[in-house]
Amino acid sequence: MVSLALGILTALAVQHPTARVLVWGGDAEGGAPFVEADPADPSQVRGFDVEVADRIARGLGRTTRFVQVQWSSIDQSVERGDFALGLSGVEDTPARRARHAATLPYFEFREVLAVRPEEAARIHGLIDLRGRRVATLGATIAYDLLVRARDSTGLIPVSYDDDVHPYGDLVTGRVDAVLLDHIIAQRALRRRGGFGFLILAQPVAVGHYVGVLARADSALRDSVDAVLREAMRDGSLEQIFRRWRVWDPTQGVLFDAVLRSSMTARPAGTAPVVQAIAYLPPLARAAAVTALVSVLSMMLAVLVGLALASGRLYGSGWLRALTTVYIEVIRGTPLLLQLFVIYYGLAGVIRLPAFLAAILGLGLNYAAYEAEIYRGALLAVPRAQLEAGRTLGLSEGQILRLVRGPQALRYALAPMTNDFVALLKDSALVSVITVVELTKQTAIYATNVGSWIVPGALCAVVYLAMSLPLARLARRLEQRWGGRAP
């Protein structure tokens, strides 16, 4: 919401550009040492990328203005003109270079593995992680490395939306290794006081950070490249990196190579050429995950919903109160929050696997809505039907099972089907607890190819293929039963 508002404001600003201001975008949530909110003045940002942006602006004779943007959306935002330059640990990939105007590389990072200390003697690389869970940030070179290693070595990639939780989950044993940029790994280790995990010395791959500009902005990109070269030559870039303690000899080697060859691009050697066809199998897999999560969650929601509705209608006073509180609390708080609480909040008590936590979160949330549907449907069964059951000598339980339940089901089926369609789409939220489902896979795909058009259309088609038949079924049921009360 905030970034949307900022985006709109900035887009307005870009329409009336003040040539003296370089508007640049980054993700302060990514944190130090890249970009973070300044503890002394949270309205300001600081970090080496902030200083690189300042240095570039100075070289261009401009001042800077920062725009907050979600890290995975930097490419899309720069292309639609939210800001002129994206800088925030942006990786150099062939796809990014093909779709946008990327600057020359200004920092060399190593993809390093972090493992628990007791396993450090056994694990020396991805090859030793067969069948184990390896975490990383979604839509990164590291994620691509893991996906390819899945096919060759049989490890299990686990995608996160942030770079803090992977290390927490490594320490608690939810994952067995984390593959991320050495800067992020070292920062995580510092935060833990140097304990909890070890960083393997041998990097899995090497990559570079670049700035990204809109494709049409190649002239500005060339000016930025010139400033970066100058900053490498005059030592100001080295000073920035030293100040943030990320300088090491490999940066000097990179600077020399850049200045000597006047190279513009040296993308990470391991990144693949992105092709749509290569994303079809993961998309199919993700669609299956979406379908499976939705079906299992709905089954749980129906069972728990029935129990809740029965408790609310037939239970004693305290049971009625309890079920009412459950329903109101669940319906009154965001599903996203509930997923976080179940997965991360409860981790100290019970460490649920992500898939199970996703089903529990969705299922228990939708159970509250199902319960209200069932309660309404049970109440809609005419009293004469229940009394007819009583005069025949049926017990209350038999009346519920043989008369009231089956009749209520007819009222409930159409709204239940609608709920299932809604759940199918809400299942996209479980990506926040590392389950890669259809929407998440699409986002990864879109980030890698640098466009939402094809991935978005593909994703929509798959969702529609799942939800349209259900919506039609709901309409048919409604026509058959909805208008005609018994």
Task: Considering only residues 92 through 151, tell me which ones interact with other proteins, judged by CB under 8 A.
Answer: none
Residue 80 interacting with other proteins (CB under 8 A): no
Q: How far is the CB of 483 from other proteins (least distance, A)?
A: 13
Binding string, residues 382-411; x marks residues near other proteins by CB under 8 A:
x-xx-xxxxxxxxxx-x---xx--xx--x-
- Count residues binding other proteins (CB under 8 A): 21
452 or 481: CB nearest other proteins: 481
Q: How far is the CB of 410 from other proteins (least distance, A)?
A: 7
323 or 407: CB nearest other proteins: 407
81 or 415: CB nearest other proteins: 415
136 or 407: CB nearest other proteins: 407
Give the closest residue to 166 by CA, choosing from 226, 379, 174: 174
Q: How far is the CB of 398 from other proteins (least distance, A)?
A: 6
Q: How far is the CB of 399 from other proteins (least distance, A)?
A: 9
18 or 385: CB nearest other proteins: 385
78 or 412: CB nearest other proteins: 412
Q: How far is the CB of 394 from other proteins (least distance, A)?
A: 6
Task: Considering only residues 410 through 439, tell me which ones interact with other proteins, judged by CB under 8 A.
Answer: 410
Q: How far is the CB of 407 from other proteins (least distance, A)?
A: 6
Task: Considering only residues 457 through 486, tell me which ones interact with other proteins, judged by CB under 8 A.
Answer: 484, 486
403 or 459: CB nearest other proteins: 403
Q: How far is the CB of 458 from other proteins (least distance, A)?
A: 43
Chain contacts with other proteins (rule: CB under 8 A): 382, 384-385, 387-396, 398, 402-403, 406-407, 410, 484, 486
